[in-house]
A and B are shown apart, each in its own frame.
Chain A
């Protein structure tokens, strides 16, 4: 049916918004099946992702089991204040930021260097072998990874201490020393993820036109010069994007690996926000759900704020941004 046959056509001409609405409505009718298809995943999203956000109100309430989330009384910012004033606040936030920064400074450049080296080598088979092997640790689960760390650093039978023993060094209790914790956490992470981290850069490097390399070679550029002046500028947008992402996660250190590596001896340097939330709630004999929710909320809010800010800065400074 064409528009000309529509008797109210004149009215539409006077109201472009109405036409638009009508058009949208017609399109929605045509595509109604799409809405049915997405209904199930969307319901999942509302229940399991937005459902917990409803529970965030607990951060401003005193949770009582029998009154439930909705019925518990409001207390304002009491739990936030308690967290900011607690003696753990500074050390927990400090540990969180220090570990992330350490990870960023030590761990961010390594995949880039590795990718540039992989991209430059002339030995194809060797390149494939290095890729194959260095990707492997990525598939080790966190539990097994921490198991390996504990086993290797074991003061009695760990290979590190056995090797040190041959050099005449007394066994070191690595996991019991708070000053070692951050290094062990970060460098084991680099061992596990550096290879996998090259993939994204290798993809960007393969997108650089071969002609630029040829032109540079003809102009007498050495391979090293081509890395600096062709390869690196070529992957600069990728580097910026990943840097933004990483900076946005500076307060978002994950629970799993840290928690598994914690013990009473290293807790001073290993307690981060996510593990602290767990220790005052589910792990506690006197769990304080509201307090834990408030800390978690504070952390999520900071993370959101950070990533938005960093993204805004990136938009202003360069052309790259996440969205």
Chain B
């Protein structure tokens, strides 16, 4: 390594210097807003409103977080989202494997037609109203099913899984198992699943993050507060500006109440994004892997 450094020409030295500077700039542009949100969420309300927060928390306080957890909508939303994420991902994984495995078997007659039918839906779909009417005719409006079934699988993820099975689970492997009397179902359970833990992890992550972050289906199909996922509650608070007055217990002036409302938003952003960010450092590699497999033409 040292040797290469010594041999660097003047032009290259300047290049590497500028190159690292560029990366540093990119790093700071992305990082600063994140740090600011984090610091603001732990600051006092006056400090946030008057712009005293620059890098670190000013007048450290937890009142933003206290207000967040006093809001019953957020607690209910959190629980609902947790349910949708776990149940939804379970359905997704099951359906995805059930679609991807058969489509990965080259001997399957008609697999190209079936694959084409799946892939076509990535290019064309019915649109908002036909989807809404379908869910309505199925009597799933304002039920938990509307959050789980329409998002049953993603064709993109089916292609990722199929590509993986095609390259790692050979036909010979199946034939060897079949001679010993192993059926396809048993083969999936006892051979494919253990051999494809990596890709299953990728799928769980993609689907999990999708469910945690999605709001569109809830926005279109749900009407009851008791069913709302976190993202709908967040929309009310962050975008529509509906702060639950009961969470602001301070009997002080409107100005101060508004100050707490401003502060709460930063705390909410942190609370809502934290679960994903806590998991993220441990699974970053899997995500990257998923994107790379997805980029291979199936």
Task: Report which A residues bind B (CB closer than 8 A).
Answer: 24, 27-28, 30-31, 33-35, 37-38, 40-42, 44-45, 47-56, 58, 69, 113-114, 117-118, 120-123, 126-127, 129-130, 132-137, 139-144, 146-148, 150-152, 154, 156-157, 159, 162-163, 165-166, 191, 194-196, 199-200, 203, 222-224, 238, 255-256, 260, 274, 277-278, 281-282, 289, 292-293, 296-297, 299-301, 303-304, 307, 322-323
Specify which chain B residues have a CB less than 8 angstroms from the CB of A299 in the assembled complex: 127
One digit per residue, 1 when the CB lies within 8 angstroms of any chain A CB and 0 when it does not, for chain B 117-147 equals 1110101111111111110000000000000
Specify which chain B residues have a CB less than 8 angstroms from the CB of A118 in the assembled complex: 23
Residue of A31, A162, A166 touching B105 (CB-CB under 8 A): A31
How many contacts between A and B, using CB within 8 angstroms?
Answer: 269
Residue of A139, A150, A277 touching B129 (CB-CB under 8 A): A277
Question: Do most interface residues of chain A lie in helix, strand or loop, or is the interface mixed?
Answer: helix
Specify which chain A residues have a CB less than 8 angstroms from the CB of B297 in the assembled complex: 322-323
Do B19 and A56 touch across chains, with their CB atoms under 8 A apart?
A: no
Do B128 and A277 touch across chains, with their CB atoms under 8 A apart?
A: yes
Do B102 and A142 touch across chains, with their CB atoms under 8 A apart?
A: no
Specify which chain B residues have a CB less than 8 angstroms from the CB of A141 in the assembled complex: 212-215, 231, 234, 272-273
Residue of A27, A199, A222, A289 touching B288 (CB-CB under 8 A): A199
Q: A33-B183, A222-B15 are in contact. Are A143 and B128 (CB under 8 A)?
A: no
Do A52 and B127 touch across chains, with their CB atoms under 8 A apart?
A: yes
Report the stretch among B28-36, B57-65, B66-74 that lies at the interface: B28-36
Is B246 positioned at the interface, with any CB of A under 8 Å from its CB?
no
Is B109 positioned at the interface, with any CB of A under 8 Å from its CB?
yes
Q: A150-B238, A255-B216 are in contact. Are A281 and B266 (CB under 8 A)?
A: no
Specify which chain A residues have a CB less than 8 angstroms from the CB of B188 in the assembled complex: 37
Q: What are 30 A-B contacts defined by CB distance under 8 Å?
A: A24-B109, A31-B105, A33-B185, A34-B105, A37-B184, A41-B152, A45-B118, A50-B117, A50-B121, A52-B125, A52-B134, A55-B126, A114-B23, A117-B26, A120-B16, A121-B23, A132-B281, A135-B284, A136-B30, A141-B214, A141-B273, A143-B235, A147-B265, A147-B268, A148-B33, A199-B291, A223-B16, A223-B19, A260-B239, A281-B128
Specify which chain A residues have a CB less than 8 angstroms from the CB of B31 in the assembled complex: 133
Is B79 positioned at the interface, with any CB of A under 8 Å from its CB?
no
5 shortest interchain CB distances as A-B pairs: A52-B126, A55-B130, A147-B238, A296-B127, A162-B51
Q: A121-B19, A144-B238 are in contact. Are A56 and B183 (CB under 8 A)?
A: no
In the complex, residue of chain A having the shortest beta-carbon distance to the beta carbon of B295: A200
Shortest Cβ gap from A125 to chain B (Å): 12
Is B292 positioned at the interface, with any CB of A under 8 Å from its CB?
yes
Specify which chain B residues have a CB less than 8 angstroms from the CB of A132 in the assembled complex: 281, 284
